[in-house]
Amino acid sequence: MTVRILPSILSANFARLGDDVARMEAGGADWLHVDVMDGQFVPNLTFGAKVIEAVRSVTRLPLDVHMMVWQPERYFDDFAAAGASRMLIHAEATPHVHRHVHRIKELGCAAGVAINPGTPVEVLLDIAPDLDTVLVMTVNPGFGGQQFIPHTVEKIARAREILTRAKSRAVLEVDGGINRETIATCYRAGADAFVAGHAVFAASDPKAEIGELRRRAVEVAT
């Protein structure tokens, strides 16, 4: 499987956002992960369309927009216009997942569904064939720097089984506590895209750190 590394700009220094984004791009990041939080679905409050637009203006990397918000449909048009490449909505945040996935695709973006640590992966069963991404949260969403939750590894494996049975080519992404010690376990379980925040932004050499994460995913897991 291809290993994609997605630095999360939640860990960037916003006083020098352009420089930090350039460091990630030069370091070999595959996509950039943008966490949108509304202060209601999760306790924290973060970025909106203006930040997506600002990041898009300084990079060509795909922007993976993780929408930790109630009523995500309110933001689709603005985020697509701002430059989002893919939008991930939470299964817990709306009763209309199928409708919203297809609306995101109508806007020209890839579409995905995220699930929290306490949400059964079976919510993906009826939507799996339509998805471009499944995001399994390996921490409870809302804050950076949390500890990886070990039992989520089983959820990653079950999500991979669901995608395989659906003959889906969706990316299986994980987010939360990903570092040198946890990435191989997630890769072995079936994940192929990894959101990393502090692990890469705090590194003195992001290129070396991203390369090491890739190496550990594949070599330690095999």
Task: Kindly list the averaged pLDDT for each block of 10 residues, start to end, along the chain of length 222.
Answer: 92 92 96 94 87 95 97 97 98 96 98 97 96 96 78 97 97 95 96 94 94 89 56
- CA-to-CA distance for 105 and 111, rounded, in angstroms? 6
Q: What is the DSSP string of 54-113?
A: HHHTT--S-EEEEEE-SSGGGTHHHHHHHT-SEEEEEGGG-S-HHHHHHHHHHTT-EEEE
The set of catalytic residues is 35, 175
Using CB atoms within 10 A of its CB, is residue 130 exposed (0-12), middle (13-18) or buried (19+)? middle
Alpha-carbon span 168 to 170, nearest angstrom: 5
DSSP code of 143? Answer: -
pLDDT at 219: 80
pLDDT at 14: 87
φ/ψ of 89, rounded to 5, equals -110, 155
Q: Whole-model pTM? A: 0.94
The C-alpha atoms of residue 191 and residue 35 are separated, in whole angstroms, by 19
Number of neighbouring beta carbons within 10 Å of residue 8: 24
pLDDT at 46 (0 to 100): 85
- The H-or-E segment that residue 115 falls in is strand 110-115
Q: What does the alpha-carbon distance between residue 11 and residue 161 come to, in Å, rounded to a whole number?
A: 32
